[in-house]
Every structure is written in C-alpha cells, then in structure tokens.
Amino acid sequence: MAGDAYDYVVIGSGPAGQKAAIQAAKAGRRVALIERQREVGGACVHSGTIPSKALREKALQLTRARQAGNAFQLGIVASVPLSALLAGVEEIVAAHDRYMAAQLERNGIRCIRGRASFRSPTALDILRVDGTRLAIEGERILIAVGSRPRQPPELAVDHEHILDSDSILSLPYIPRSMVVLGSGVIACEYASIFAALGCAVTLIDKAAEPLGFLDPALRTGFLTAFQAMGGKYRGGVEVAGARFDGFSQVEVQLRGGEVLSADIVFAAFGRVANLEGIGLDRLQLAISSRGHVQVDEQYQTNIPGIFAAGDTIGPPALACAAADQGRRAALAALGLPPPAHTSLVPSGVYTIPEIACVGLSRSGAASKKIDVIVGRADFSEVARAHIAGEATGFLELLCDRSTARVLGCQAIGEGATDLVHLGQAAIATGATADFFIEQIFNFPTMTEAYRIAAFDVLKQRSVPHAAHLKLAHAAN
C-alpha cells in the first residue's frame, strides 16, 4: 500500500526530533513529523525538564525566605498543595508548545498526530488520534521516540504510593517523608528539591556515593548540601522490594532484612527507550542490552536510511545533547556536510545546588594520562556570591600544564549551569587561562570566579611567565 512520500520522516517531536525536522526543512526537503501526543515537545517540555525546574525554583525561593528569617515554617510548606507550587507551569508549557507548533508550521513541516509503526525500512503505518489510518513513505527516517522511566521487576510502581518521574509531580501535597531509590541525576535532583521543601528524604542506592559520574569534589559538594537540608544518603544498599502497608506508609525492604518506612517512595532507576509498538519486529534493528537503538558516528542504525537520536540511543540523555544529535543526524541522512566543529556538550545537574561540567574532568584527565593544572575559585571569594547569599560552591578550570590551554570546566553552586558556558567557549576557541586574566568582566558578577581560578592556574604552572608573576602576587 503506497502512501504520501517524504524526503525525511521523523518519529517523535522531542528536542531531537524537532531539531532534525527543522534542519531537514531548512535544507529544502519535504518533511513529516509524527507525534503520538496532543502536544509537541516530548517529555522534556511536558513532564520533565520544565515542570521539575519550576518546582526547583519554588523550593529555592522558600529556602531563601527561611534563611532570611521569613515567617514561612516547614509545617506551612508541607500543607501547601504541590499544584500551588507549580502554579503557572501549565501556561509556560502551553506557550512553549504554541511556539514549537508555529515553528514547525512556518518551516512547512507536516505534523501528523498518531502512533507510527514500521511496515518496511521506508514505509510507516500511522494510527491517528481520530482512529483513522494513514500510510506514508520516507526516503530517510529518524527514530526519536524518547524514553520512559525504567521499571525494575522487583518494584511495582502504582503512581500513588510508589512513584516514578512520570508521576512524582502529581502528588497532592509535600510528603513528610520520602525514600528515593537511585543515585543518578533524576534521583538526586528530586531528592534535593523535596529536602529543600522540608520533606525528610533518604536517598538509597548500591553506589557508595551519588552522582558517580562526577569528580569527587562535586559529589562531596552535593552530599554536604543535601545533608545540610536534612537529607540522608545510604550507599552500598540493595532494595529487595517495596509495598504500601494499606494505611499510611510504604515499606521498603532492603536485602539483608532491614525495612524502611516513608510516606512516599520515588523510584529513579534510569530510563528506557520507547521502542514498543513501532514495528521493530518487522526490522532487524540492532538494540543494545539496555534497550537503546545502536547507531554509528553519524547516528545511522544498522539499517541504511534509518537513523536514531536523543534518549532513543541512551546517554547522555540531555535535552541539549538530543537537539544537537537530531540536527547532525538530519545532515548526515540528507548527505549534507556536518558542522565545522564538534559540539561540546555541557552537563547540567539541577540539584540544589546546581552542578555543571564541560570538557575534560579530573578523572578523565587521569585516565588519559593528561597532565593538568586545576585552578579553583571558591565562591566565598566572589563578591556577587555574597550579595546573592550563595557563597558556597566553587568553579574549577582544568588546564594543560605546559600551555595553560583550558581543557575543562566544572562548577557547583547556584548559577553553575549558566556560568559553565563561558568555560565552554574558552575550550571551543582554544583559549588559555591567561584569557580570563586579560579580559575585563563586569563587577560584581559570578564571572569573577574565572579570573580567580585563572590566577590559581598561573601560580601552579611550572614555568610561569615572568610578567604574570607580579599579577598573581597582586591578586593574592
């Protein structure tokens, strides 16, 4: 059965799918985008990034109010409906949805609402939301179907007492106590948010420390802040199961016999690609043991003409990375030249406090045997941090010892996810630590941390430039 033919078909309208469709349309191709939900944007917009960061902002506001001696008490916060703390989010999401829909329309992209299923490597059947069916052909097809929370067999998520990241924001009130299972980004973000809201949070995982992909100093910084808010971390612990006791508590059984009780259990065991129901049984598509589509450096699968990007292919599972992958996948699929430069993907962890990294890490430098100098600026040395009442945290520059070229940047503290972008630009342009010494930045700003870290690099260099020795001495 033949159908409408397109040069490029995208399944999924999240960051990867949206950017891929727009890139193909701007290249003059006929493009169709298939989305099974009513809105475009995927989980990033509607149930993940935007709503969770909005709740985080409310938690920060309440924390600052308490620190300033405001009359807000924990008991009052606990009685506030979660929907009140998320007031305005629906309008934000709706506005973003309208913007994205208009962007697709003005680029001439046909947006088809429905569920797509492969009939062959170039043909798709679509069950539309009104129950009708549509057949289309695509010379090139991108799978960007996003992901959903991973459900381990030993845990029955009921979305009422045991929740995951799709249902955590549907809680009617802030619980008095919560056990969070997992120690990755989503687990730690929500654990710190609810701890800041006055909930007694216990974070549990097999790992010795949370956020194991980060350098030790960043992990320590997170744990210190989390514990200061009353949070607890139980590392080296395995969960055997969890069940609601029928009255008011959820009991979490640990291997070894110990039982923990809490009002709510939040399960955050990572995410798995939404590959069910799209007809992969009709294809010989290579899937990893973790349930992700396998691709090459051009985001092409083992089947010529079929590409994949975003959460569909696994980590880093960041919206910014997915958008870049989608754009590059479209260029590769259409035989267009790739961007001139390799994109640096920053990592942003929206815990309280924020954590951000880009480029080389300490552990990465050690594994690659790269000799680096790490220049550090504690936010206690930055005037703007004191003005904002956020004097904890730090920024680090990782520089090549022989040249002082900036290879990596990482920060922890409020504003870290914005601040790290200046380090990203320095890495991308091949700048050295001297750049931050020679430039003039507004004062007072958090950017001052770069000058402090750069002077620290200068002091540590084995053969520092004589002219800068005086500057380094004067800075201290």
Confidence class of residue 130 from pLDDT cuts 50, 70 and 90? confident
Given a cut of 90, is residue 357 above it in pLDDT? yes
Predicted pLDDT at 46: 54
Whether the per-residue pLDDT at 70 is higher than 60: the answer is: no
Q: Is the predicted pLDDT of residue 63 greater than 90, yes or no?
A: no
Of the listed ranges 5-19, 62-76, 304-318, the one predicted with least confidence: 62-76
Average pLDDT over residues 448-459: 96
> Which CA distances in Å does 109 have to 6, 100, 175, 387?
10, 11, 44, 48
* Amino acid 462: pLDDT: 58
Q: What is the pLDDT of residue 441?
A: 92
Q: What is the pLDDT of residue 74?
A: 45
* Mean pLDDT in residue range 356-368: 95
Q: Is the pLDDT of residue 101 over 90?
A: no
Q: What is the pLDDT of residues 71-83, one digit of tens each?
A: 444 444 556 677 7
Q: How confident is the model at residue 303 (pLDDT cuts 50, 70, 90)?
A: very high
Q: How far apart are CA 12 and CA 474, in angstroms?
A: 56
pLDDT mean over 127-150 = 93
Share of the chain above pLDDT 90, in %: 67
Rounded CA-CA distance 268/189 in Å is: 10
Q: How much is the average pLDDT of 84-110? A: 82
461-475: pLDDT as tens digits: 855 444 444 444 444
- β 177-181/123-128 pair status: unpaired
Residue 165 has pLDDT above 80, yes or no: yes
Mean pLDDT confidence for 85-102: 77
What is the chain's mean pLDDT, rounded?
89
Share of the chain above pLDDT 70, in %: 91
pLDDT at 469: 44
What's the average model confidence in pLDDT over 128-154?
Answer: 91
Which one is predicted more confidently, 34 or 338? 34
Mean pLDDT on 198-210: 95
Closest CA to 219 of 349, 378, 315: 349
Is the pLDDT at 17 greater than 70? The verdict is: yes
Lowest mean pLDDT of 82-91, 118-127, 271-280, name the range: 82-91
Give the range among 41-45, 90-94, 114-118, 401-405 with minimum mean pLDDT: 41-45
Q: 416 vs 241, 393, 444, CA distance in Å?
A: 36, 9, 16
Give the model's pLDDT for residue 309. Answer: 96
**Tens of pLDDT along 176-192?**
999 999 999 999 999 99
What pTM was estimated for this model as a whole?
A: 0.89
**Is a pLDDT exceeding 50 seen at residue 103?**
yes
pLDDT tens column, 240-250: 999 999 888 99
DSSP run (H or E) holding 448: helix 448-460
Mean pLDDT in residue range 288-292: 89
Own/partner long-range contacts of 109-113 (Cβ < 8 Å, ≥24 apart): 109/21, 109/22, 109/25, 109/31, 109/32, 109/33, 110/6, 110/31, 110/32, 110/33, 111/13, 111/32, 111/33, 111/35, 111/40, 112/32, 112/33, 112/34, 112/35, 112/136, 113/35, 113/36, 113/37, 113/38
pLDDT at 47 over 80: no
Q: Are strands 372-378 and 271-273 parallel, antiparallel or unpaired?
A: unpaired
